[in-house]
């Protein structure tokens, strides 16, 4: 959700853009935080209210808003292309449905965005891990597994460096420490400088 420059407001406020995927959504709707809560007898008065203007940014909706913000224009195009590729793949019957079709549709939509020169910096700066999170279903369980794996790898790295430091302290050469640990010789050299 990008900032829309040149699109006036009467004062401070919050605006939310939606791609309306979950259900049909009007071009504009004002939503209130208090509508998300059940009314309880004796507490009908709302002491603090938050209102948000929500604008539909699907293809063909609210063009003036979308055109005013390059990032939003790119996002709307990306969402449109993902949906178009999903339909196209389903009609061809060549791709499996569901998750695999979505992965393929996302990858194709990213290529479309790059070819249309939309969100180019975003896609170029996206790491492989971030791209995988976009393409793959990402849930808390998977996130925790990845975090655990990364923590284990960091722990192993620290452990190997500790072994290398201990070996150097006992007088092993850089070459011997390399053979034992497989650590990069620059790292071993850096560790050896502590002992000489």
Q: List, in sequence order, every residue forming a beta bridge with 15; answer none if it has no partner.
A: 53
DSSP string, 20-42: --SS---SEEEEEGGGGS---TT
pLDDT at 94: 61
Question: How far apart (Å, rounded) are the C-alpha atoms in residues 94 and 11?
Answer: 52
Q: What is the pLDDT of residues 12-21, one digit of tens each?
A: 555 555 555 5
pLDDT at 4: 39
Cα separations in angstroms, 63 against 23, 94, 118: 20, 34, 16
Give the list of residues 6+ apart from residue 116 with CB closer than 8 angstroms, or none.
Answer: 77
Question: How far apart (Å, rounded) are the C-alpha atoms in residues 56 and 185?
Answer: 56
The low-confidence residues of the chain, meaning pLDDT below 50, are 1-9, 138
- Using CA of residue 99, residue 101, residue 107, residue 113, what is the dihedral sign? negative
Q: What is the pTM (predicted TM-score) of this model?
A: 0.53
Q: Is residue 86 within 8 Å of 78, Cβ to Cβ?
A: no
């Amino acid at each position: 959700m990008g900032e829309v420059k040149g699109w006036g407001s009467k004062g401070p406020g919050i605006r939310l853009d939606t791609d309306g995927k979950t259900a049909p959504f009007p071009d504009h709707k004002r939503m209130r935080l208090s509508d998300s809560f059940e009314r309880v007898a004796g507490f009908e008065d709302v002491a603090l209210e938050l209102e948000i203007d929500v604008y539909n940014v699907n293809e063909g909706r609210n063009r003036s808003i979308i055109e005013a913000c390059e990032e939003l224009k790119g996002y709307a195009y990306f969402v449109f292309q993902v949906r178009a590729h999903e339909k196209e793949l389903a009609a061809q019957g060549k791709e499996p449905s569901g998750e695999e079709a979505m992965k393929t549709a996302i990858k194709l939509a990213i290529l479309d965005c790059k070819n249309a020169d939309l969100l180019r910096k975003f896609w170029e700066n996206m790491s492989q891990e971030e791209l995988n999170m976009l393409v793959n279903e990402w849930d808390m369980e998977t996130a925790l597994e990845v975090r655990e794996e990364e923590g284990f790898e960091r722990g192993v790295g620290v452990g190997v460096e500790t072994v290398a430091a201990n070996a150097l302290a006992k007088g092993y050469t850089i070459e011997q420490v390399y053979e034992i640990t497989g650590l990069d010789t620059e790292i071993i050299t850096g560790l050896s400088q502590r002992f000489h």
